[in-house]
């Protein structure tokens, strides 16, 4: 019984904290979603990431995978130092993108490859990345055609 009360209290506190953040920093759209009682979790997370971790992106929205870094050049440490200005727990990874969209969705035919050093960290319970170029996007980010 007390476990349920603790969970209810934690959820109420999280709801209050979210509303306070939205009021202080949220876009007009996000404030309206909250006011109308419309589900807004992904908008909230995206806006918080943009405000509190500028230059970072959600790992799950980025094609590719992390591998252990090896024989890093000085530029990789510069990237890590830059990432740690907003996320002190960042760690260096070697990010590999070998993606053919036609293999996954069959409609846009995008093919791209990118490999390089990136920073990786946890934020709001999810993995985030820093240093992967903005033009390396997931097929989910492109509008459907047809």
Nearest alpha carbon to residue 61 among 79, 50, 48, 46: 46
pLDDT band (50, 70, 90) for residue 109: low
Note whether 47 and 30 are within 8 A (CB): yes
What pLDDT digit, counting tens, does each position of 22-37 carry?
999 999 999 999 999 9
Return the pLDDT at 126: 96
Q: Is the pLDDT of residue 7 over 90?
A: no
Contacts of 122 (CB under 8 A, 6+ apart): 89, 128
Predicted confidence band of residue 43 (pLDDT cuts 50, 70, 90): very high
Q: Indicate whether 108 pLDDT > 80.
A: no
The pTM of the full predicted model, rounded to 2 decimals, is 0.79
pLDDT tens per residue across span 50-64? 999 999 999 999 989
pLDDT value at residue 106? 54
Mean pLDDT of the chain: 88
Q: Where are the domains of the chain?
A: 1-52, 55-146
Q: Do residues 116 and 95 make contact, with C-beta atoms less than 8 angstroms apart?
A: yes
């Amino acid at each position: 019984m007390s476990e349920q009360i603790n969970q209810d209290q934690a959820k109420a506190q999280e709801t209050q904290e979210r509303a306070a953040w939205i009021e202080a920093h949220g876009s007009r759209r996000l404030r309206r979603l909250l006011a109308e009682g419309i589900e807004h979790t992904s908008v909230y997370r995206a806006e918080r990431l943009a405000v509190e971790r500028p230059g970072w992106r959600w790992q799950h929205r980025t094609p590719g995978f992390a591998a252990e870094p090896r024989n890093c050049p000085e530029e990789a440490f510069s990237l890590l130092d830059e990432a740690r200005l907003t996320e002190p727990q960042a760690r260096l990874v070697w990010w590999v993108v070998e993606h053919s969209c036609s293999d996954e969705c069959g409609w846009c035919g995008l093919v791209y490859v990118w490999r390089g050093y990136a920073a990786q960290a946890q934020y709001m319970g999810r993995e985030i990345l820093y240093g992967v170029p903005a033009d390396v996007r997931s097929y989910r980010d492109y509008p459907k055609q047809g």
